[in-house]
Structure 1
Amino acid sequence: MTQTNQAPLVIKLGGAALSCTQTLSQLFGAIAAYQKSAQRQIAIVHGGGYLVDELMTKLQLETVKKNGLRVTPYEQIPVIAGALAGTANKLLQGQAIADGLNAVGLSLADGGLCHVEELDPELGAVGKASPGDSTLLQAVLNAGALPIISSIGLTEKGQMMNVNADQAAVAVAGALDAELVLLSDVSGVLDGKGHLIKTLSEQEADALIQGQVITDGMIVKVKAALEAANDLGRPIEVATWRYPEKLTQLFAGESIGTQFLPQ
């Protein structure tokens, strides 16, 4: 792929999109078309909570969340890492390859891309990621490939950690100095009446959290987007993958969801 002066684009992919082959195919089609027309480097960071939930149910293990984050007992991290860095990553890579993309599966640990440490002892093997060394990822991008990065990382001592995928995407975008789009099931942040909020500042978001308009996992997403906007010094978009025909415009910088503004 030809190098351009345009900043790379990190796309966080999560939610039910991962379980729908047709949706994924349309998404990868939009990415392929945009990559070709814009000659822009793109990396995907993904979650896969639904796969973990299914696996936990089959193994008769309880799923517990605290403040929107999955509690991950250390004895369960091999199972969760297998679902995210293994099954989810290869499902996405396989679909991307089927749709004609040169996809490479990676994790937060590869090439030291992100530094990961324990977030909170009460959460278990849940990591906090910060930007690391993007040299290996940049080499993959320079080769014209599409990196698909799971949110599993390693500490300095080699301990596997489960990182929230929104927070992982922020760290990857920081490592690459990239623009960031968080794609999810929802069209953005909705107000108390169910209407889309086009832009949000930190103060406005805090007020919506206090008023319990923004709740549960959306709090994590909103805080990750605000952190990214401030760290990267550029607006961050939270939008839905449900309208594939709008994704090319979104990737090109047109807002279709909620934009989080830097302070």
Structure 2
Amino acid sequence: MTGSDVESAAEPPVVVKIGGAKAVDPAGAVGDVAHLAANGRSVVVVHGGSTVVDETLERLGIEPEYVESASGVTGRFTDAETMEAFSMAMAGKLNTELTAAFRSAGVDAVGLSGVDGGLLSGPRKSAVRVVEDGKKKIRRGDHSGKIESVNADLLADLLDGGYTPVVSPPMAGDEGDGEVTPVNADADRAAAAVAGALDADLVLLTDVSGVYADPDDPETRIDSAATPDELAAVEDAAEGFMGKKVMAAREALEGGSGRVVIADANVRDPVVAALGGEGTTVERSALGDADGDTGDADGDGADDGEPAETEGGETA
């Protein structure tokens, strides 16, 4: 893809997810988003912040707690005290600082949490199924949720007005009685939900160059997946934090995104490079024709109506 192709107003919007790990430098993405926005491309930024959340907890004397779901996914357990620190770090410090960085780069950025305008919403999951010492248990008191609704009209209005939304968890958790509670949500999956709602391309920026067939060998990067078999190979290869990114890729495509790229945040022009084919690109065609109900409507490993496994919370 040429630079002029990327800049074409006919291109779909792009959602850029900037990871929150220390190893991810957002500077390149900030410059790239400024370039794309200046050339008429609609961009929504979603950011993570796991490292800063952990640092905030430690300053407050709270030990970060991670739990493992029955399906082997590790995620943050977010009790009420942790949720306060999470909101301080994500919607307060990080979102404000990143929005300021974009504005300094000439981007008319607007910072939003998932609670604002009901941007990201879904039922709160206060009980999660975890594995402790090899035994399955139910942990209660969690503040997490699965995004089921995106206020795409709000985002579209901002984009139409020339603004660049900068979005972060928490999301708006529906308590079932009309009350709304801010709750934790995984940032990769938040970006996937936004990309699906906008029929946007999704770029997941992280600290590696894509999905590796051998997780320890960057030379084995899988460059693309355009068929169900190729997507299955990507899913089989994804380990650890990469598993959530590949899960998010599938969710974005199922929601309406045309393609997802998992790519390195720390290279020159990381977003433009990703849109040009640098990274692991998963095309919508990789879903094939089978896109039906599997009995696990929320993708958390639990059938509807049962206590859900942990959604994993915010990751890098």
CA distance in 1, matches of 2:28, 2:233: 36
Per the TM alignment, residue 7 of structure 1 is displaced from its structure 2 partner at its CA by: 1.7
TM-score, normalization by structure 1: 0.86
Equivalent residues in 2 for 1:59-208 (5 A)?
A: 59-65=60-66, 66=68, 67-119=73-125, 121-122=127-128, 124-156=142-174, 157-192=179-214, 194=217, 195-200=220-225, 203=229
Name the % identity.
31
Per the TM alignment, residue 24 of structure 1 is displaced from its structure 2 partner at its CA by: 3.0
Equivalent residues in 2 for 1:22-41 (5 A)?
A: 23-37=25-39, 39-41=40-42
Q: How many residues align?
A: 253
Residue 230, structure 1, aligned to residue 261, structure 2:
no
TM-score, normalization by structure 2: 0.73
Aligned to 1:56: 57
State the superposition RMSD in angstroms. 2.4
Secondary structure of the 1:167 match is helix
CA distance in 2, matches of 1:207, 1:247: 24
Of Structure 1 and Structure 2, the greater helix share is in 1
Per the TM alignment, residue 244 of structure 1 is displaced from its structure 2 partner at its CA by: 2.4
Contact 1:106 1:147 in 2 (8 A): yes
Aligned to 1:254: 276
Give unpaired runs (5+ residues) of structure 2.
Answer: 1-7, 129-138, 288-316
Residue 11, structure 1, aligned to residue 11, structure 2:
no
Per the TM alignment, residue 206 of structure 1 is displaced from its structure 2 partner at its CA by: 5.0
CA distance in 1, matches of 2:48, 2:118: 19
Aligned to 2:135: none
Per the TM alignment, residue 246 of structure 1 is displaced from its structure 2 partner at its CA by: 4.6
Of Structure 1 and Structure 2, the greater strand share is in 2
Give unpaired runs (5+ residues) of structure 1.
Answer: none
Per the TM alignment, residue 60 of structure 1 is displaced from its structure 2 partner at its CA by: 2.6
Per the TM alignment, residue 51 of structure 1 is displaced from its structure 2 partner at its CA by: 0.4
Per the TM alignment, residue 162 of structure 1 is displaced from its structure 2 partner at its CA by: 0.8
Secondary structure of the 2:210 match is coil
Change (3 A) 1:47 1:202: farther
